[in-house]
Amino acid sequence: MYFSCDVGKQLNKDEDLLDTENYDYESLFGVKFDMNKKERILSLESGSTHDMELIGTDVDQIGKITKRLIENSRGKSSGHNGYLTMTGRWFDEYMFRIVILKKYINEKTLKFLNRKPVILPSWDPMFQENI
């Protein structure tokens, strides 16, 4: 599954891990960083900067996804032989675009895709690459 994200946020390069809990900036700087995703996009604090592919998931004993394996498009020199691990929370916060084969999309979502698309102007933060 292809997706684009803000790969530089909360990336621990030593562990090749994308996790919202990697760093405690609030304790370090004494400032609460509490913007939600929409606010980060509108202020240009966050945006689509990199494309990768989701290639696997790890689940716990009851089938809940605990983390995901992604292939970095920068190749084997980046991450652990070209791979990174991300948490679901990180994916929710820093993923911007996603491409999925229709055969893997549920009926409710497919109906949603029948709506008339909204064309974004070129200056819209969601339209821009590499903010």
pLDDT digits (tens, 9 = 90+) for 13-70: 889 999 999 999 899 999 888 899 999 988 888 888 888 999 999 989 998 888 999 9
Q: Are 90 and 15 in contact (CB under 8 A)?
A: no
When the pLDDT of each residue in the chain is averaged and rounded to a whole number, the result is: 87
Residue 93 has pLDDT above 80, yes or no: yes
- Rounded to whole angstroms, how far apart are CA atoms 16 and 118? 36
Domain ranges of the chain: 2-112
Length of the chain in terms of residues written: 131
pTM as predicted: 0.79
